[in-house]
Chains A and B, each alone.
Chain A
Amino acid sequence: MLEKADQIFVLLLHWLVGFLPAGWQHGAGVVLCVATIVLLYPALFAIAVLLERKGLGRMQNRYGPNRVGLFGILQPVADGIKSLTKEDIVPYKADALVHFMAPLVLVVAVFMGFAVMPMGRNMVLVDMDASLLFFFAMGASTELSIFMAGWSSRNKYSLLGAMRAMAQMISYEVPLLLSSVVIVMMTGSLSLVKIVEAQNHYSWGLPHWYVFTPWGFAGFVMFVIASMAETNRSPFDLPEGESEIVAGYFTEYSGFKFALFFLGEYVGMFGISGLGATLFLGGWSAPFAFLSWVPSWIWFFAKVMAWICFFIWVRGTLPRLRQDQLMNFAWKFVLPMTLVNLMVAALWRFMGEGLLRWVVCSAIVVVVYAVMGRVEMRRGRLGPRSYRYAE
């Protein structure tokens, strides 16, 4: 019975395509899976937006939306209707085709990443050998759509936002990749399915998730930071800094195109959270051995939502970085840390089993972090900054 609950979507798919002639079954199955993904994530997007608005409100001692429906739960529906009924304005001088294509390219690119994401046991659309690489390739192509949006709008704020987005996303792409490379080094595979399987075993009831190792934890922290920057989340939301450049690259978008950008951003967040959960938090595996009976897909989505909640929490806490702080942080702190982490992972691999490697690897990670943090803070690159003329 529990086995069936775990595989319910897989069985449902097989049952549904069973009605079709044999030659059509594979194609119909793929179409059905894609349709499910394309419908599921916008639904999660609605939930995440509501969570974000209510959660941020509570962090600022406000109520948040509480008018539409019971406790405001229908707020996303109202938002959706609003954005659908708004006028779609294209600037007179804009490059209309590129302006139109940009949100579509973004949404397509972010949805492509889910093709290789294992969302439960046997629940992966394409089990590719290089799925991690595929995901990063798709994630990087969102930059294209952002630049398309910024350039085609013919607006200085759009262009400034797009330039900032480029600089930021390219800078943080590097630590994002390097922090995931340790996982590949340990698993010996680029396949996300294999990466989850490698973490899905337990000793004394506790899982072997990569986050519970020194190099995994360091990689996890760096991955979280880089993923926030990749998805343009606060405190790295310079490309859309409202107080500085209106709305950044989507200043000139209104109505449903704006909603598509919004959707693309959130689905991108789900994608990167799903990837992070897969790489470091054991994907769909249960956090304790005695909870393994809970269907695997519940664990996957619970981890994604927990990750989103953490993003919201950080957004409610931290102010926006300045461009030079952002760059200093990426190139002078996160990148060296990930490089050190690669060394630590290699050391871990070749030290063999035992307590010694735990002590040595943890010590290296902590010491490097502390020393680099101190040096950077003392040089004034990180931490509070004094202004020569403004004070």
Chain B
Amino acid sequence: MLGEGILKGLAETARNFAGSYVSRERLTTVQYPEERVAPIEAARVFPFLVYDGADWEAGLRCVACQICEKECPPKCIYIEKSKDKKPDYVGKLQIYPARFDIDVSVCMSCQICVEVCPFEAIKMDTEFELATDNRFGGLLHDRKQLAKSNEYFHTIHPTEASEVDARLAEEKAKVEAKAKAAAEAAAAKAAAGAAPAATPGDKPAGGGE
């Protein structure tokens, strides 16, 4: 009969209304500032710079190659190269970013900077509470604010961080083996006598495939 559906619907909403007072499982709301859901691993919000070791300035993996700056679609990254050089994780001397700024208000969380980075230096963070009361300075994050340790990377994206670590270790081992082989060859040549040692140039460290 006409109107049956309406009565059924009314019964359903009444059941929901009463049920929401009886069983808490019905209420899916997470009351945010007090309650939080654990961030899921695939979450990505805003990039950060990974550093190894204890000192953030010394351990930054970034070599200021400026690929991310060029690739960034909304152009929110600003990098200034350093004049001097510091050793990277394999011990090779590299330049480092004297300035590395990202504008939160411009970044669109596309992750392209992460994908183009050959040095595993920039990764996506899960931190989302980036609101500030200063809309100019507060939204421009400098390299100190962006630098976060590799341990932190392990806590937020454990799978990805382990893969990255394995890859870097492999690279490092390869480089060391090559250096060792070169040294041995040089030693052999020196022992053999004459010609100057043809040292094979170091490949860029950690060229991630």
Contact = CB atoms under 8 A, between A and B. Distances in A.
A63 B12 contact: no
B2 A317 contact: no
A316 B29 CA distance: 18
Contacts of A374: 1-2
A317 B17 contact: no
Interface in B1-58: 1-3, 5-6, 9-10, 12-14, 16-17, 19-21, 26-29, 31
Nearest to A55: B17
Contacts of A370: 1-2
A314 B16 contact: no
Contacts of B13: 59, 313, 316-317
Contact of B9 (A63, A318, A377): A318
Given A317-B6, A373-B3, A382-B2, A63 B31 contact: yes
A376 B3 CA distance: 12
B57 to A, nearest CB: 43
A373 B1 contact: yes
Contacts of A62: 20, 27-29
Band of interface residues on A = 20 to 34
A382 B3 CA distance: 10
B31 A318 contact: no
Given A60-B16, A63-B29, 19 more contacts: A55-B17, A58-B17, A58-B21, A59-B17, A61-B19, A61-B20, A61-B27, A63-B27, A313-B13, A313-B14, A313-B17, A314-B10, A317-B6, A317-B10, A317-B12, A318-B9, A373-B2, A382-B2, A383-B2
Given A61-B26, A314-B10, A317-B10, A376 B2 contact: yes
A369 interface: yes
Interface of B (DSSP majority class): helix
A318 B5 CA distance: 10
Nearest to B3: A373
Interface in B108-165: none
Interface residues of B, number: 20
A374 B1 CA distance: 7
Interface of A is mostly: helix
B26 to A, nearest CB: 5
Interface string A45-71: 000000000010011111100000000
30 contacts: A55-B17, A58-B17, A58-B20, A58-B21, A59-B13, A59-B17, A59-B20, A60-B16, A61-B16, A61-B28, A62-B27, A62-B29, A63-B29, A63-B31, A313-B13, A313-B14, A313-B17, A317-B6, A317-B10, A317-B13, A318-B6, A369-B2, A370-B2, A372-B2, A373-B2, A374-B2, A376-B2, A377-B2, A383-B2, A383-B5
Interface of A: 55, 58-63, 313-314, 316-318, 369-370, 372-374, 376-377, 382-383
A61 B26 CA distance: 6
Contacts of B2: 369-370, 372-374, 376-377, 382-383
A230 B169 CA distance: 74
A62 B2 CA distance: 31
A369 B6 CA distance: 15
Contacts of A376: 2
A318 B20 CA distance: 19
B31 to A, nearest CB: 7
A58 B18 CA distance: 8
A382 B4 CA distance: 12
